[in-house]
Amino acid sequence: MTKLRQLHESGQSIWYDFIRRDMLTGAGLRELVTSGIRGVTSNPSIFEKAIAGSNLYDDHIATLDGSTPAEVFEALAVSDIRVAADILMDVYQTSGGEDGYVSFEVSPALAHDTAGTIADAMRLWTVIDRPNLMIKVPATEAGIPAIEELTAQGLNINATLMFSLDDYEAVAMAYIHGAERASDPSSLASVASFFVSRVDASTDAALELNGTERALALRGRAAIANAKVAYKRYGELFEGVRFEALRAAGARPQRVLWASTSTKNPDYSDVMYIEELIGPNTVNTAPPATIEAFLDHGVVKTDSLLEDTADAVRFIASLPEVGIDFDAITTTLQVEGVAAFADAYFSLLAAIERKQAQIYA
């Protein structure tokens, strides 16, 4: 049994945080699924690297003469998402709709536009036309009501760019309220994508700025502690009385998904955000290098998420004692995350425009 399948036995599904056309036209994704990969996630940065950083899409772009860069991007991405969803369809069916999803994001330009997000998500749901599609919506102030409404309309939602407990709480309640309004809550699937490694990168920088021995001793702990606090809240919301009526109606809990799980600091273990975040009813979406490292030397620490939860709560509460405004850090991280995806999207459109000029010259 592969380590990825061992993780699934422990209650965690591993999704592949990467997509590119050559892994869809060859045996790449099919072999990954055989090894235990149970889903695929994408984002504007991933597509920027795939499309702008290769010539894999040039022939397809050549067939789209007269289209705007945005229309070209959507055509390329929709094609990839559909093929990936078809490859994962067997996982979707055999898991009863628990896994086998492919995530695609609404336009990053709509991160602060509730109505625009809802309209774009509904349109993409119709255009892509796959039951194992998840539409990604950022957990911004404008995104939260969109998540509720889209859930109520029966869409599978991947709520993304969460960094704080407040972000998680808002997303979880949006899913619950949306599921309560849905005509068939049993058909819904959703994940709450909680970002990890960037939390350590920013908190460590603040601790190093403090510079005291006590502050420096706290480095490398904030991200995992923050995740454990969020997972504790997951248990309170979805395994208790609050979700009881929906559970009786056949609704699935919204799983917590650990995102941004590649280790940024080379002094830390390159598999720490997999090993330390294993627990029931969770997802970890990891990039290829992190998955390869885990397969090579990672350890399946069953239920590591459930260990030292009280210590995690105390750790986060203690950060102000060393001058760390953790709320400010996580708020800034979301703002920066939204901006980074928007930058990647517009950079991609510019790259497509340059490719068009070359192809049609």
Whole-angstrom Cα distance, residue 221 to residue 200?
7
Whole-angstrom Cα distance, residue 141 to residue 205?
27
Whole-angstrom Cα distance, residue 6 to residue 244?
29
Told to judge if 136 belongs to the known catalytic residues of this protein, a careful annotator would answer: yes
Distance of CA 110 to the CA centre of its chain: 18
Residue range 297-334, pLDDT digits in tens: 999 999 999 999 999 999 999 999 999 999 999 999 99
Q: Which of 130, 155, 142 is nearest to 80 (CA)?
A: 130
> Which amino acid appears at position 320 of this protein?
P
Distances (CA, A) of 210 to 163, 175, 213, 308, 329: 22, 39, 9, 26, 14
Report pTM: 0.97
> Which residue among the candidates 3, 49, 136, 228 is catalytic per the annotation?
136
The domains of the chain, with CATH numbers, are 3-359 (3.20.20.70)
**Distance spanning both ends of the chain, measured CA to CA:** 53
Residue that the structure tokens 């009881």 belong to: 244
Whole-angstrom Cα distance, residue 261 to residue 244?
31
pLDDT 10s digit of each residue in the chain, 361 long?
A: 789 999 999 999 999 999 999 999 989 999 999 999 999 999 999 999 999 999 999 999 999 999 999 999 999 999 999 999 999 999 999 999 999 999 999 999 999 999 999 999 999 999 999 999 999 999 999 999 999 999 999 999 999 999 999 999 999 999 999 999 999 999 999 999 999 999 999 999 999 999 999 999 999 999 999 999 999 999 999 999 999 999 999 999 999 999 999 999 999 999 999 999 999 999 999 999 999 999 999 999 999 999 999 999 999 999 999 999 999 999 999 999 999 999 999 999 999 999 999 998 7
